Structure 1
Amino acid sequence: MHFSRFGLSWVKFNALIHLYMTGDRGLIQSELGNKMLVSRANITGLIGRLEKEDLVVRKNDPSDKRVFRVCLTNKACALIQSFLPVHNSYMQKIMSTLDIHEKEVLISLVRKLNKGLNLI
């Protein structure tokens, strides 16, 4: 419900926020797939769907014509900019249920999991 009010899903948001954080540079399709932990086939399909919604464009990489960079459209940037304050407020409410010690433990565990992901 949280994402759907903005026409998003968790997967769409995850892709768009990774691209948003890169600015105009965008990401190579495989980089985006790696960040999202999805297969090459899944990322290709997702990018295709996002293109149909006019949220991303594929551009030739200037340094390697064999690969595409995925970049946000102006429509996607506006969507993310309107959604982020709502999302941040939502996350703040969720996190407010944890006391300071629980938050520290959560952060420690997430860091540990992140290290494990980097080993894969």
Structure 2
Amino acid sequence: MTNLNLRDIPTRQLLKKYQKSFPELDIDSVLLYLDLQKVFRKTEQIFNSVFDESNLTEAKFIVLMLLYREPQHKLFSSELAEKSGVKRATITGVIAGLEKNNWVFKVPDDSDKRSTWICLTEEGKKHLEGFLPTNYQTAHQIMSALNKTDKDHLTKILKKISIASSSLRKDV
């Protein structure tokens, strides 16, 4: 699916015209949503360029972090899929890419031959640890315009939006 980055945002006046035909249109909600989407897309582009510079994708980064935070630096692929919120087929492709970079390797489980451990390599650990300062610095720079109170308010607002949106669609 291609994500378009809408730059020609509808104006309040245009939405008022639409409201005559669509009375359920809440102009403030639509404009806020479009602003939220615009900020998300901009920050996503920033992080994607940071990932690109380190030969990473968001998916690879997430899998590496999930493995990194485990005491033994290993998980079953089914656990990785569950923890990252994707299907097993998707995680299989991400793991294949990480294997090509020599950042993970597979080990059959001794107790269940159908299961395979995905293990973080020393090279993968070093690559991730080299990337994390840039990752954390980027997140800090993006949020630097907010003070502690702003961050607390934003956290509460995002939780409210998350709760409202989770009740809308169960399949996403």
Q: Please, which runs of 5 or more residues in structure 1 have no aligned partner?
A: none
CA distance in 1, matches of 2:144, 2:93: 36
Larger of the two Rg values belongs to structure: 2
Q: Check 1:104–1:62 CA distance in 2 against 1; reply closer, same or farther (3 A cut).
A: farther
TM-score normalised according to structure 1 size? 0.83
Establish whether residue 54 from structure 1 lines up as the match of residue 111 from structure 2.
Answer: no
Structure with greater helix share of residues = 1
Structure with greater strand share of residues = 1
The Cα of 1:26 is off from its aligned counterpart by 0.8
Identity level (%): 35
CA distance in 2, matches of 1:26, 1:53: 17
Q: Please, which runs of 5 or more residues in structure 2 have no aligned partner?
A: 1-48
Q: Note the alpha carbon deviations across 1:18-71, whole angstroms, 9 max, x for none.
A: 111114241110110111111111111111121122111111223322211111
AA partner of residue 45 (structure 1): G
Aligned to 1:9: 57
**2:73 touches 2:120 (CA, 8 Å); kept in 1?**
no
Moved more, 99-108 or 2-11: 99-108
| Matched residue count | 117
Q: Check 1:33–1:110 CA distance in 2 against 1; reply closer, same or farther (3 A cut).
A: farther
Structure 1 runs (4+) greater than 6 angstroms displaced:
none
Aligned to 1:24: 72
Alignment map for 1:65-76 (pairs within 5 Å)? 65-76=113-124
SS of residue paired to 2:140: helix
